[in-house]
Chain A
Amino acid sequence: MTTTAATTRDLYRLLSRITGDEKHGPSATSTLDVLWVLYDRILRVRPETVNDPERDRFLLSKGHGPAAFYAVLAAKGFIPVDWLDDLGGRDSRLGFHPDGTLIPGVEIGSGSLGHGLGLGVGMALGLRAQGLTRPRVFVLLGDAELDEGSNHEAIAYAGAVGLDSLTAVVVDNESATHGWPGGIASRFAVNGWHTSTVDGRDHDALERAFTEASETGEPASQTGEPASQTGKRASETGKPSAVIATVERKW
């Protein structure tokens, strides 16, 4: 396996190939370490399995500044590296905001804030309804994105029904205009989510948090049966998880 140090250098080299996304520069890199740890150590999805129903789903809800996402996808072989050279170009599949129908391995198109978590809740429910209890659904959001009320519809509902295959990852660079007094984690915790707050640049800490998040779903997956067959409500089997990954302030 590639070492973290070499990887980071490699990723920055790939990032440097991406031009034309000056508008969203700072947020592009706030997500880099989180994305790398997810794709390198956590997500069960490979370029060969992007259409496999059993794959884990990763949803970039915060579609702004996707350069880091594209760089990780290129590093992991989901997209050709030379796609990075024409961001937003006439014939490019990579825009300033990603379009899921154009890019292999990208589950959703995003950019308008506050859509990923609702879609992720739907995917988690859809997988469960089809007896697919192994795949996990990760949704990456920004702290400012949480301003959008649609997120709070999803947070309240997913907590209420104990949607344990769902993990929200909030990259917190304190860019929300009015902040989150009491902390972002508290918004999830009060709705029954398992939460952890970690250094968003510390790969091992991120890995531990994501692994711990996956384990909150263990009781459901141990039975090997969907909740409908066991007769259990999802809320008896676990909790959704939120990992708050703090990084340096945006400004």
Chain B
Amino acid sequence: MVSPMRDEFIHTATALLDEDPRVAVVLADISAAEFVGAARQHPDRVINVGIREQLLVGVTGGLAQTGLRPIAHTYAPFLVERAFEQVKLDLDHQGAGAILVSVGASYDSSRVGRTHHAPGDVALIDTLGNWTVHVPGHPAEVEPLLRAAAGHDDPVYLRLSTQANERAHDGYGLVPIRHGKAATVVAVGPMLDPVLAATDGLDVTVAYTHTPRPFDKVGLRALVSGTGSADVVLVEPYFAGTSAAQVADALVAVPHRLLALGVTRTDPRRYGSVEDHARYHGLTPEQLRESVRGFLAA
């Protein structure tokens, strides 16, 4: 059973293969079955290297250097962490762009265990040059993001999750969903619905983004200015604080306070459901509400 975001990705990538002769899809067995039809149509542009993630990214870099627009795809820990030096050198250092599309965001594979979790993926991508990072919060956000990424040559990380908000939103930059006066709460991707539930009845602005990189610093300044409070709360579905430096940079001229919430650094060594893992990391609506209220009261 393919999750809705992954399904959107497979359909969009398959369509792009038909439409754009520059697009190639590079796989390491994951999702290979779903691309069998596309591989039959485009045997030279659907490339499955087997369970070889260093080669997955190396091949992606080589394809990009011949002028193609490769899309490399597998689970986040294998795409970004296992093959990180290939991401750093075979793409970034060569000046070659590509689209990396991961599944298995943070603790999506909650019952599988730590081997399949990569909550540090966006923090790792942050160590590179100017990557665009998309964290869609709804399956319907995937297609426009992937199509936009296929239309240029810059590096893009598209982070798909089994967690999703109830409906899709515009999320280029920080898009206000709710207005208040006590703080600005920034929700990234699938954290929006938990944040909306957590802040129900609180006098805070809630802003959404599916594109945390480049971080919308101008937008944050405008929101802070409009809110009248320089209290900021970040709620991210990967490591807590990943965007803290972005907020600090955006508000360098404004005395401000920041509460940065997200996945904690400690391996909980627990299985269970996605909801269980949200609880291990303090990310259920109730826990978020308590954290935000405590921050506002402090």
Seen from chain A, the residues whose Cβ lies within 8 Å of a Cβ on chain B are: 53, 99-101, 107-109, 112, 114-115, 117-130, 132, 149-150, 153-154, 156-157, 160, 226-228, 233
Give the A-B contact count at a CB cut-off of 8 A.
111
Contacts A117-B58, A156-B52 aside, 4 further interface pairs with beta carbons under 8 A come to A108-B65, A118-B59, A127-B66, A160-B50
**Set B45, B55, B66: member contacting A118, Cβ < 8 A:** B55
Interface: B47 (CB within 8 A): yes
Pair A126/B58 contact, Cβ less than 8 Å:
no
Q: Is there an interface contact between B58 and A122, defined as CB atoms closer than 8 Å?
A: yes
**Considering residues A124, A126, A153, A226, which has the most beta carbons from chain B within 10 angstroms of its beta carbon?**
A126
Give A19 to B44 CA distance when docked, in angstroms.
45
Q: Can you report 18 A-B residue pairs in the complex whose CB atoms are below 8 A from each other?
A: A99-B93, A100-B94, A108-B94, A115-B89, A118-B54, A119-B90, A122-B61, A123-B62, A126-B67, A127-B66, A129-B24, A129-B44, A153-B55, A153-B58, A156-B52, A226-B44, A227-B44, A228-B43
Most A CB contacts (10 A, CB to CB) among B50, B62, B85 go to B62
Interface residues in B56-82 (C-beta closer than 8 Å to A) = 57-68, 70
Does B145 touch A at the CB level, under 8 Å? no
Pair B63/A126 contact, Cβ less than 8 Å: yes
Cβ of A107 and Cβ of B52 under 8 Å apart? no
- Cβ 8 A contact of A125, one of B47, B50, B94: B47
Could you tell me if A118 and B50 are in contact, using CB atoms closer than 8 angstroms? no
Min CB distance A208 to B, Å, is 28
Q: How far apart are the CA atoms of A109 and B95 in the complex, in Å?
A: 9
B221 at the interface (CB under 8 A from A): no
Chain A residues near B52: list those with CB within 8 A.
153, 156-157
Given A119-B65, A122-B63, A130-B68, A157 and B49 contact (CB-CB distance below 8 Å): yes
Q: A120 contacts B62, CB within 8 Å?
A: yes
Tell me the smallest distance from the CB of B82 to a CB of chain A, in Å.
11
CA of A130 to CA of B70, assembled, Å:
13
